[in-house]
Amino acid sequence: MTIGRDYLLRKPAGPSAPKLFLDTQVVPAAVNVAGSLEVALDRASVRTGIRPSVILAGVTGVISLALFRIFSDRSRRPGRRY
């Protein structure tokens, strides 16, 4: 790739539409969800007296077990060849 003499003189076009959507819609929504989960975890910790890391580990374990059971039940259904 060759950079011409007027490279620094030209104004860039700005971000693309997908990047603009990601930066203005998706990232703020994800941050809001993460913040809400953090507040919920903190409140549950205060109410129960259990450390947040223990609550988080328990919830993660329950979700993992549920997903494992769901996907292992699918593989045992009759008529599945692989």
DSSP per-residue string spanning the chain? ----TTTTTSPP----HHHHHIIIIIHHHHHHHHHHHHHHHHHHHHHH---HHHHHHHHHHHHHHHHHHHHHHHHTSTT---
Task: Read off the pLDDT of residues 1-28 as tens digits, 9 standing for 90 and up.
Answer: 567 777 667 766 788 899 999 999 999 9
Quick one: pLDDT band at residue 59, thresholds 50, 70, 90? very high
Can you give the pTM of this predicted structure?
0.63
Name the residue ranges covered by the structural domains of the chain. 23-75
Q: Are 53 and 41 in contact (CB under 8 A)?
A: no
Q: Can you give the C-alpha Rg of the chain in angstroms?
A: 24
